[in-house]
Amino acid sequence: MEQIDVVAALAALAQGHRLAAFRLLVQAGHQGLAAGEVAAALKMAPNTLSFHLERLRQARLVTFERHGRSLVYAARFDTMELLLGYLTDNCCGGHPELCAPPACPPAKPTSKRKKEPV
């Protein structure tokens, strides 16, 4: 993966709604979700969601297929794996196999991060 592609992917994910949509699509797996299902799950207006999904598509993080009148979006796991590989390539002195977690470890509940005093 080229640095320019990494920067585009990270920029697309550096926004709360897009990150939430991408995580939801990763959780949905290869079959993906209809745009309406994503909008409902994230409590987001369809036109707002469309904007965010398009940014993720431009960064090659999601893809879509038309099923009748619905657009079904899915995470691009190939791009996600390349991004993770790029980020961990030099991990542990150039031996990422020593420190990299498995690609899909078991899901753990996410906790809200507490604000640190400034």
> For the segment 9-61, what is each residue's pLDDT rounded down to a tens digit?
999 999 999 999 999 999 999 999 999 999 999 999 999 999 999 999 999 99
DSSP 3-state of 63: strand
pLDDT at 96 over 80: no
Question: Which residue reads 């961990």 in tokens?
Answer: 88
**CA–CA separation, 46 vs 36, rounded Å?**
7
pTM: 0.80
Task: Report residue 51 as tokens.
Answer: 């904007």
Domains defined for the chain, CATH in brackets: 3-88 (1.10.10.10)
